[in-house]
A and B are shown apart, each in its own frame.
Chain A
Amino acid sequence: MNQKTIFKFCKDLGCCDRCCLRYLGVKIPNAYENSNEYVARFQDEPTSNIKSQEDIQSNENTTSGKDNVIVTDAVTKSDNTCSASVHTDNDSDKDIEGIQDNATGDVDSDNIHNDNMEYKNGILPPTKRRKLHHCVSCLGILQEDTWPDTNLMLKEMLHKKSYECPTFACALSAPIATLLRERAVTLLVREAYPEYDPNTLTPLKEAWKWSYGAQAAAHVGRSLHSGAVSPLLVTVNMEYPHEMQELEILKALSPSLFESRSQQRKRFAVEFTRRAAEQALAGAAAAALRAAGWPAPPEPAAHARCAAVHAAHAPLHLAGRYIKLSRELPQTPWILNGVRMMESSVQEIIFAPIAAAYGLTPEECEHRLKFMSAGREDVDVRCLGDGRPFAVEVTDPRRELTEAELKRVCEDISAGGKVVVREMMYVTREELAELKKGEETKCKTYEALCIKLSHSEHEHDKSPTEPVTVTEQDIANINSYSNTSEPGVRVQLVQRTPIRVLHRRPLLARTRHILQLSAAAVPGQPALLALRVRTSAGTYVKEWVHGELARTAPALQAALRARVDILALDVARVHLDWPRRAHPAPR
């Protein structure tokens, strides 16, 4: 078994040049991009005995134009990448192909086989009008005849969505019939050459990327990269008009599989899926295919056509820190039983100018923008200092906003006076993970305004009717209070899930820490005190101040030795350095 024989065998079955290369297991992108040049070595007298891919690769540079002259592109039309010598040699042929471009409809496979034979003998039948041959394996997907239609749809889609991204990646959704046909060809090759390893087959989608994709790059004016590199993914959906009839053969190959599938209609809404086809074909033998009426894959009566092109850009993430100055503003829209409780939200205030910059309608906003943040504060809690880290995910963005636009977005957010965002930048997925992780680990500093409700324990000499006042002793008691010897921790407390969130969260008693605690009297307000508290993540400060019916213990009462309640709360600082400043916008 040598590669030339396999190439010829596949060719005789009706495979196109690129499919022949696939069955040989060629994995060199350039071989598919310039297949006309490349296949020469398998068609002619070999210049050397080709044994391995390395050999092929090293030969590539030394292959002279002279070799190409003998190449006739009977099946695959010559493209622009062909050397000039081929063009001159095949000028007469090209005219015929020009006519072929418009040729569709029935194809006589015998005719083509004859053509091939004649070509190989170097006899050109210039007067004979050859019909378009569709590859029995790829159904034309790797044949340039089918490309202009796809190019047109691709260009139109990219134009419509007007992405600024200079690169793209492409993916192919191929008809399931190509799986069936691939299997049929490999089984036949295996039958003729038992030592052939069917696993060498180069996947159709790879060969397609290397050939069609490379060609499309020039058409759409973007450079082609892998999906791991380019954020812009274009999916081309090729459909084969005779798909359903052809897949009926799968039922003959694996009747039980499809019987059980049809019995479970609810589970399997679609009769033939890629997976089901793979299952049915996994154990299939050449004999079974022959018995099912497929001695060889038949010449397709029509080629696969581009049915749809989808384009999507990977999401971008805008990041910043928001300062919330209102005590009547929830972080996200607060809708209770379908009724809006507050007219706006931090999320909506931040979304509005981003939506405007991206030209999104309010409806689009809902599914194209997603708000994320390192925790949240209550409606009536302000978030001061340098604010709380947040990010906005933009789904399928057409472009990145410029520095000037981002500045404008920040200005527009801050103009309303309720929310201030000083700076916004794009962040990577890795950085985004830090934001989410920060939600569980970060600590926060709060300022709380508290009211003393009863005389302190040491004030037992005071009459109950005497006004309650915060004394220097009270302040000192709080400032010296600690109930734990754990380093870095002032207060260890156990909190049951607060009643206000108990309807939607499990009831648990969690241990939380207060890391720093200091109190000060409030000038002119004898019953009030101001606290500055640094807590570990997840501490409910309001509940710690009033004790929530003793469901949080110990509460501030243990330090003050008097009953106490909370009047107002501010987040003074969220201890998470995110997003990091001086982060250059990804380009």
Chain B
Amino acid sequence: MEFTILDSIPDLTNFKSFTDRYFSKRYILNVDRIKNNDIMLMFHSNRITLLSLAPSHFFFKKNDNYKINFVIGKIDRLSNSVKGKGKKGGQLLTAKSVICKIEYNDGESFDVPSCMKGTLIEVNEELVKHPKLLKEMPDSNGFIAIILSSIAISEATKSELLSHEDYLKIMTNESSNNEK
């Protein structure tokens, strides 16, 4: 009876990335009625949620340099801290809460809303040093924030938002419409 890790080589044709293995993606399109202000929420099976921009967000069309600012009015998202198992002390978020601002060098900027009620667990500090991550890997290392909601809210949000499959269908339709 000799076992080695080499007897566990999986079928690589269905290889899934880290986020695709553990998270299910949901989308909100045209947030605040701003065209292509499209947000992506990635739900872990344990209800922890990652916030990021959907690939169809207008952000990905613009090639100017930008910075990510986590200071919203008087609140600095970077100073968020949570204590204990209950994550006490985390900043409370509503769907409208702004997590960060994307500020272009030309002075333009836009807000990234939380899109879900919950507690802010952490923001991705790497984005401050490496803003490019948001553009290059929005569904992995370029995530914006980790949010924890109650089971009820996270289940409800997850079920009412656009699923990944439906999102892909809409995107295909839109691009074919544009071609026409």
Contacts and interface: CB of A to CB of B under 8 A. Distances in A.
Contacts, number: 82
Contacts of B18: 546, 548-549, 565
Contacts of A283: none
Interface residue tally of chain A, by bracket?
20 to 34
A543 to B, nearest CB: 10
A80 interface: no
Contact of A550 (B6, B46, B141): B141
Contacts of A507: 82, 87, 121-122
A421 to B, nearest CB: 13
Given A502-B48, A503-B47, A530 B6 contact: yes
A475 to B, nearest CB: 15
Contact of B3 (A382, A504, A528, A550): A382
Contact of B46 (A503, A567, A568): A503
Interface stretch (B7-15, B96-104, B169-177): B7-15
Nearest to B137: A549
Given A502-B121, A506-B84, A565-B18, A451 B5 contact: no
Contacts of A327: 8
Interface in A511-535: 522, 525, 527-528, 530
A549 B141 contact: yes
B54 interface: no
A448 B85 contact: no
A14 to B, nearest CB: 61
Interface in B64-97: 82-85, 87
A568 B82 contact: no
Contacts of A449: 5-6, 8-9
A300 to B, nearest CB: 56
A496 B146 CA distance: 13
Given A500-B46, A502-B46, A506-B83, A567 B3 contact: no
Interface string A527-570: 11010000000000000001111100000000000000101111
A447 interface: yes
A567 to B, nearest CB: 6
Nearest to A528: B9
B126 interface: yes
A505 interface: yes
B178 interface: no
B48 A503 contact: yes
Most buried by A among B5, B8, B50: B5
Given A500-B44, A500-B46, A568 B12 contact: no
Given A503-B48, A522-B6, A565 B17 contact: yes
Contacts of A504: 46, 85
A548 B44 CA distance: 13
A263 B179 CA distance: 82
A46 B141 CA distance: 95
Given A499-B146, A549-B140, A550-B141, A451 B3 contact: no
Contact of A530 (B5, B10, B46): B5
A325 interface: yes
A384 interface: yes
B85 A505 contact: yes
B17 A567 contact: no
Contacts of B83: 506
Nearest to A503: B46
Contacts of A547: 141
A483 B66 CA distance: 32
A528 B12 CA distance: 10
Contact of B12 (A503, A527, A570): A527
A567 B8 contact: yes
Interface in B28-72: 44, 46-48, 50
A395 B19 CA distance: 44
Contacts of B124: 549-550
Interface in B137-180: 140-141, 143, 146, 148
A499 B143 CA distance: 13
A503 B151 CA distance: 11
A506 B88 CA distance: 10
B4 interface: yes
A384 B3 contact: yes
Most buried by B among A325, A448, A504, A507: A507
A568 B143 contact: no
Nearest to A504: B85
Contacts of A325: 3
B110 interface: no
A503 B148 contact: yes
A302 B51 CA distance: 77
20 contacts: A325-B3, A448-B5, A451-B15, A499-B44, A499-B48, A500-B44, A502-B48, A505-B85, A506-B87, A507-B82, A522-B9, A530-B5, A549-B50, A565-B17, A567-B8, A567-B9, A567-B10, A567-B15, A568-B5, A568-B8
Interface of B: 1, 3-6, 8-10, 12, 15, 17-19, 22, 44, 46-48, 50, 82-85, 87, 121-122, 124, 126, 140-141, 143, 146, 148
